[in-house]
Amino acid sequence: MGEFKIVISSDITLSNIQYVIAIQNRIITGNENTFIIYFTDAKYLDAAISVLIGTLPIYASKLNKKVLIRFRDNDNPIFKFIKKVGIYDYFSNSKVSKYISQKAIPFGKITDENMMEIYTDKIIKLAPIQLDDEASEILSVPFFEIYQNCFIHAESDVGVFSCGYWMPDELVFSIYDMGIGIPCNIRNHLGVSKSSEECIRWAFEKGTTTQVEGLIKRGLGLDTLRKFIYLNNGSMLLYTNDAYYTINNGKEEMGVLNVPIQGTLFIIRIKADPDNIYVVDREE
């Protein structure tokens, strides 16, 4: 079985997220039982990708494998950032948050509806701008929408993980479920053969809702999430199975990944603007 060493010498940004997905794929398909991810000259990790890095050891454990993350020295900026967003504390089983930044929505597992509430409230409270009750309620829409999608449809036996960070001018937030993926779920649900891109389009159509009786009632469907992003000049990146879908600067893009991702990863960016009035489409 043996070990396999993965050296990361370049910064990890959204432009090379598929490199991290390829690492995940290598861990899943590799015959080795131990994978050592070694950060050498890399000095930057986009906050949006931190949840993907944090879940590598978790998914490997499910496969009876081990992932070790190593750094050249303790002054490595990525090592410091991993501490800031709570990944270090999560794996050290620390009961006291020794390193987590006050700007971070710490890396963690969301296990039930109550934790959905707690996690969303934490995101709102950490905002670097003052939000009245209505703005807070509106701003919670995208988080509930993503959480519901993950809990209802992911069929993940590993769990749903979140991580976020309030920058001075924006919130960067990610949620990852390591489940069966949106396209696979829709094919199973409809009983028809559709491409992954067709499945994603279907998922974001009005009326194809994640709403389930008995669950939190604030979710209105992925179409509402899409509208929220447009109305508030935010951005969204979705990676699921072998496809991706992005909304950025009012433009949409969809395509095929070089290698598939396990489950579904949502990345949301929302502006933190004290002069901004957050809005949501109330048409529903």
Q: For 110-149, what is each residue's pLDDT tens digit?
A: 877 788 778 788 787 777 666 767 777 777 777 777 777 7
What pLDDT, on a 0 to 100 scale, did the predictor assign at position 218?
A: 42
CA atoms within 13 A on the CB side of 79: 13
Lowest mean pLDDT among 12-26, 170-184, 209-223, 257-271: 209-223
% of the chain with per-residue pLDDT over 90: 44
Fold of the domain spanning 3-271: Transcription Regulator spoIIAA (3.30.750)
Q: What is the mean pLDDT of the chain?
A: 84
Structure tokens, 97:
């948050």
Structure tokens, 149:
């999608």
Pairing between β-strand 66-71 and β-strand 34-39 as defined by DSSP bridges: parallel
What pLDDT, on a 0 to 100 scale, did the predictor assign at position 237?
A: 95
Of 274, 273, 281, 270, nearest to 123 by C-alpha is 270
Residues 62-76, mean pLDDT to the nearest whole number: 92
What pLDDT, on a 0 to 100 scale, did the predictor assign at position 217?
A: 42
- Residue 205 CA from chain centroid, whole number: 21
pLDDT at 211 over 50: no
What pLDDT, on a 0 to 100 scale, did the predictor assign at position 215?
A: 46
Give me the residue label for tokens 């992911």.
154
Whether residue 30 contacts residue 4, with contact meaning beta carbons closer than 8 Å, is answered with yes
- Single-letter amino acid code for the residue at 282: R
- Residue 91 CA from chain centroid, whole number: 18
Neighbours of 192 (CB within 10 A): 9
Segment 150-162, tens digit of pLDDT: 776 667 777 889 9
User: Of 97-101, 187-191, 233-237, where does the model show the most confidence?
Assistant: 233-237
Structure tokens, 138:
């509106």
Segment 247-278, tens digit of pLDDT: 998 899 999 999 999 999 999 998 876 665 55
Domain boundaries along the sequence of the chain: 3-271
DSSP structure class, residue 45: B
Bridge partners (DSSP) of residue 236 are 247, 268
